[in-house]
Structures are given as structure tokens and as C-alpha cells.
Structure 1
Amino acid sequence: MRAFQVNELGKNPQLADVLIPEPKEGEVRVKIHACGLNFADLLLVKGEYQEKPLLPFTLGIEVAGLVEACGPGVKHPAIGSRIAVLGNSGGLAEAGIFPAERCLPIPDAMPFTDAAAFQVAYGTSHLALTQRAMLKKGDTLLVLGAAGGVGLTAVEIGKALGATVIACARGDDKLAAAKSAGADHLIDSETADITREVKALGGADVVYDPVGGDQFTAALRACNRGARMLVIGFASGDVPPIPANILLVKNISVIGFYWGGYMALNPKALMDSLVELMAWYSKGDLHPHISNILPLEHAADALELLRSRKSTGKVVVTP
């Protein structure tokens, strides 16, 4: 089968022919129909992600497809089941091995491309906003990187939870995507003074930040008293220092959130969140935004779309 593999950290991955893997106890083999790309894939290539698979490894952590083989002891999901699953690697291939316990049934009406774009982006925003930031109706939510894979879902879920949403993104096209996801107010991060504009809108009660860097600092200075700042990631490449005096004076909480860490911290909360989100999708309340769908032979181009920030929402590869 074909697989898009990292052979040396920091070097470009390559498409390779590899043996079809066999599932071991507690595992299933999935015929992969779609793989959603994430910022984590770029970090995996460089060896800078929290998880570090042994070399060589196949990129891709978020997949959707059909179960085609089960290892010893696996009763669910059954062969032929339509599932989405999150792994540590293995998604950018024609088939992959994943833990059976992580497999999530997907609705019959849900395309595999939607399913592959769903778990990380919606799961991150839902758990972060509901479990960590305790976002409530009437709060003002500031979303940085609001046109990215997780940013658009934060806008969408924030509106569903009754918040007023301020979307901050770069350029008219990306702001238009955030507006279509439900944003009430738009700020261009390239040209605007984020602190001044957010303050003019009444300040932020919750900040959702997958960007880091200067935008974190600007958002912090626009926070209301008692605000909660969610640290989701550092797409800017800059981990910001946190001025503790501002936290003290304004009673602001800075909350770290790593969605994948909930696999160990609280797997039930993670799976319950995904089940609830699938129900929202089935009712037509959620609409995954996929800007680019590419075949496996163009996986390198798909990663470049992510790296160059030329995409909005998710980029999906279809083996």
C-alpha cells in the first residue's frame, strides 16, 4: 500500500510503498477514505510534537474510513463499520492500525471528508470552551486565528453556546469565512490594533488562542476582569511570556488546553464531547469547513497549504 512517511526528522516526508499492517490485540485496521491535516502534523515532521513516533512513521493523526480487520479481543467496532479515529500517526496512507477503543461511529449521512475534519477541530473547541473556560450565554468570546481549523469551530460553537463572538483573522477572505461561521464582529489581525478594537467592543470575557505571540499579549490587555484565556497552541511559532501582574490585578485565568491529553486525563469527557458533537452535526447544527481536498500523491502540497496558512478551515487528504 502507499503511505506518506517521515524517514528523518526535519526532512520532507516521502510517498512510499509499504506492507499492509496487521492489527494486534485491541487494534483495528482501517481502510482510510480521508485524513484531516492538523498543525500537529507539521510539528511531527520536525520532531517538535508532544508525541514522538519511532522512525520511520506515517504522518496523519485524524482519519475516517471503514474497519476492514480486527485484532484479537476486538468486538467493537465490527468489520465494515464507518468510523472516525484519532491516532498518534498512520493516517496518510491507504490503510492504518488504530486502537479500537478510540473508534467513533459516524452517522450514515456524514461524508468521510467531514468526519476526517471533525474530531480535533470541533473536539478541541467544545471541550475547551465548555469544560475549561466555562463559556456561558452572554459572554464575549474573542477567537484568534478565527479562520483556521480550530478557530472556525470555536466561532461556530461559541455562537451555539450563546456568546457574542469577535473573530480575529488575517485578510478579507479569512474574515469572510469567520463571518459565515457566525462571528458578530471582525478584526483584521494584519492591520488592526487588536487591544483597542476589542476594548471598543466591550472587552473579552473568554479568549481562545491557537496563535500565541504578539496576539496573545494584545488579547490579554483587552480582557475584562475575571476573564479566562485559553492557550490552545502557538501557530505563530512564538510562545509568549505571561505578565503575571496583569493576571493578578484583573483576576484573569490563563488556562492551558491540549485536547489529545484528555485521552489520558479524562477519556470519558473527551468521548462524551464527541458523541454530543456528532448529535449536533446530525441535527444540522454544525457545518465543517474544508477549504482543500487533495489526493495522497499531493500530500506534500496539502502540508504546504497548512504551513503557509493559505487554507481556511481544514485541509483533507483522500487516499
Structure 2
Amino acid sequence: MKACLCKTFGPPSSLTVEEIPEPAPAAGEITVRVKACALNFFDTLIIQGKYQYKPDMPFSPSAEFAGVVETAGPDVTGFQPGDRVMGYIRWGAAREKVVVREQDLVRLPDGVSFDIAAGLTVTYGTTLHAFRDRAKLKPGETVAVLGASGGVGQAAVEIAALMGAKVIACASSEDKLAFARSLGAELTVDYSSAPLKETLKDLTGGKGVDVVYDPVGGELSEQALRATAWEGRFLVIGFAAGDIPKIPLNIVMLKGCDVCGVFWGEAASRDPDGHRANMAQLLEWVEQGKLKPHVHGTYPLEDISTALEELAARRVRGKVILRP
């Protein structure tokens, strides 16, 4: 079978696509023929050895996928060959077949395409966990989304709006903000030309925002935290800017606000029932047409380097999908 392999840490151009032996499932494992898998920004880091996970060489990038069960190993009770499934593994999905644990799979309804399902787990799963489980977001609250046109930013705009929140999309250009408005953002902030803290305060009549969704980090984090309302919630999603900010804790004290870490992968592992419930909600929204994830582009496996370069250059809006 074909697989994209990272044999040495480096840029996307260092990846190769090769034939490797087909895998066989052990007890409790399932072989899935991958119909589509998704790339995320962290895939550009993991192949350079700059991410929190450092797999043994050689490995395949891509953490999320959708496909069809091909073979079920001993002790598998929930799936059988032919079942449509989607799943999450920390890396390894950029290949024609993957072997995964039974608990890592979610059944995929017939009404959801493989392309959409492949890109649903990480960004949308992270976001629903952040809003539902960590922030306890309520209808009518105001949410500021930083990096609103990126992968998780897009998901945050869509899901916050679906949950009944008033969304303020924050990004670095007008075209990115126009994209966020098309996803359901009511208000926008171009933080390349306007001060983030003061603008968020103005847009909320001086009250501040109830929830900040921050996948960016860097200098924007403190500005956004200072714009939270009394007893607001600041969601730490990631650090796309590259810098991990140091937050003055007196701000947290004076606002009576919460800073909430969102480590979705660990949460899904520790609370698999909660993860499956969130995925069921996302799939239901997709089937109902309420959630329409945007696919930036689809690529054959052989073009994975091009796809990763698009992600690294921050030219992507929505999900990047590979079709092995």
C-alpha cells in the first residue's frame, strides 16, 4: 500500500510517498481503508520535530481520517467490515490503510461525506469541547474568536453561532473577516489596524466579551484577556503566532475570570464517552445542514508537500483534505 513517510525531520519537501507492507490488526484493533484524511497546522510542525509529539521514524503525518472498515481483529465487537467510520490518531493517517484501536473510531452516518468527516474531528472536536465542556457557553453570550479564518477559528465561529452566541470574529485582514462573516460572525475586528482590547470593549458597550477563543497566542492574548467581561472565560487553544504569552495574573484576579486550558486530545482520551457525545452532536449538525465545514482544497497523497506548504504559509481557509 502507499504511504507518505517522514524519515527525517525537515520541510514538507522532505516527505516521500512509498509502498509499504499492509498492516494487520491485533486484538481490539481494526484496519480501515482511508478514503480521506485531513491535515492541520500542527502537521507542519510534527514533520520538523517542533511539536509536542515526536513519533519514531518513519511515520506518516495526519491525525484524522474517514474510511471503511476492512478487517476487524479479535475481540472487536462494535464494528464489522464495510462500516463507514471516522477517527483520530495523533499521527499516521496519510496512507491507504491504518490500524487503529476500536475505541478510536466513531460510526459515520451515510449522509456525511468522507471528505467532510475526515476534517471534522480535530478542529470541530476541539471547539465543541472548548465551548461546551470548558467554557459552559450559554445562548446570548458574546464570543471573541481570534484567528477567525483559520482551521480552528472557522470552527469556532460556526459552532459559537450554532450554540446561540454573538460572535465577534478577529483576524488580520478584511478578506479574512469577510470569510468569517460568511460563516456567521455578527461583528469583526481587524487587529492589524485596530487595537484589539479597545475595539472589543467598544463593540460590547464597555462590558467586555464573555468568552475569548484564542488559538493564536503571542501579543494578542493579553489584549484579549483584558477585554473579557466580569467572570469571563479565556480559552487557551494554541499558539499559532509562535510565542507563548506570559499573562499577568492580576488581570485574572481583578476580572474574576477563568483561564481555561483546552487540551482536546488528552480530554478525548480521558473521557471517551464525552468525546463520542460531542462527535455525535457534530455529525447531527452536519446531517441537518446546520454545520457546513469549508474544505479549502483536496489533494492526492502524492501532493501532500504542496498541501502542507499551503498550511505553513497561512493561505488556508478551512480544511485541507488528502485522498489516499
Please report the TM-score for the alignment, with normalisation by the length of structure 1: 0.96
1:46 is paired with a residue of what secondary structure?
coil
Amino acid paired to 1:3: A
The answer for the alignment partner of 1:5 in structure 2 is: 5
The answer for the alignment partner of 1:310 in structure 2 is: 315
- Cα deviation for residue 160 of structure 1 reads 1.3
Structure 1 stretches of 5 or more lacking a match? none
The separation in 2 between residues aligned to 1:275 and 1:103, in whole angstroms, is: 12
Q: Residue 3 of structure 2 contacts residue 19 of structure 2 at CA under 8 Å; is this kept in 1?
A: yes
The separation in 2 between residues aligned to 1:24 and 1:47, in whole angstroms, is: 29
- Cα deviation for residue 257 of structure 1 reads 0.5
The separation in 1 between residues aligned to 2:300 and 2:176, in whole angstroms, is: 24
Q: How many residues align?
A: 319
The answer for the alignment partner of 2:211 in structure 1 is: 206
Quick one: percent identity of the two aligned structures? 42
The answer for the alignment partner of 2:288 in structure 1 is: 283
The answer for the alignment partner of 1:244 in structure 2 is: 249
The answer for the alignment partner of 1:158 in structure 2 is: 160
- Cα deviation for residue 121 of structure 1 reads 1.4
- Cα deviation for residue 88 of structure 1 reads 2.1
Residue 303 (structure 2) pairs with residue 298 (structure 1): yes
More displaced 10-residue stretch of structure 1: 284-293 or 258-267: 258-267
The separation in 1 between residues aligned to 2:135 and 2:149, in whole angstroms, is: 20
- Cα deviation for residue 82 of structure 1 reads 0.8
The separation in 1 between residues aligned to 2:24 and 2:314, in whole angstroms, is: 36
The separation in 2 between residues aligned to 1:97 and 1:54, in whole angstroms, is: 16
CA RMSD in angstroms comes to 1.3
The answer for the alignment partner of 1:62 in structure 2 is: 64
2:47 is paired with a residue of what secondary structure?
helix
The separation in 1 between residues aligned to 2:249 and 2:210, in whole angstroms, is: 18
How is 1:1-319 mapped onto 2 (pairs within 5 angstroms)? Answer: 1-10=1-10, 12-202=14-204, 203-319=208-324
Q: Residue 90 of structure 1 contacts residue 97 of structure 1 at CA under 8 Å; is this kept in 2?
A: no
Q: Residue 112 of structure 2 contacts residue 283 of structure 2 at CA under 8 Å; is this kept in 1?
A: no
Deviation per CA, 1:36-94: give whole Å up to 9, x if none.
Answer: 11122122212233333221111111001111111222132110111101012221111
- Cα deviation for residue 170 of structure 1 reads 2.4
Please report the TM-score for the alignment, with normalisation by the length of structure 2: 0.95
Q: Which runs of 4+ in 1 moved over 4 A?
A: none
Amino acid paired to 1:16: E
Q: Residue 77 of structure 1 contacts residue 103 of structure 1 at CA under 8 Å; is this kept in 2?
A: no
More displaced 10-residue stretch of structure 1: 78-87 or 19-28: 19-28
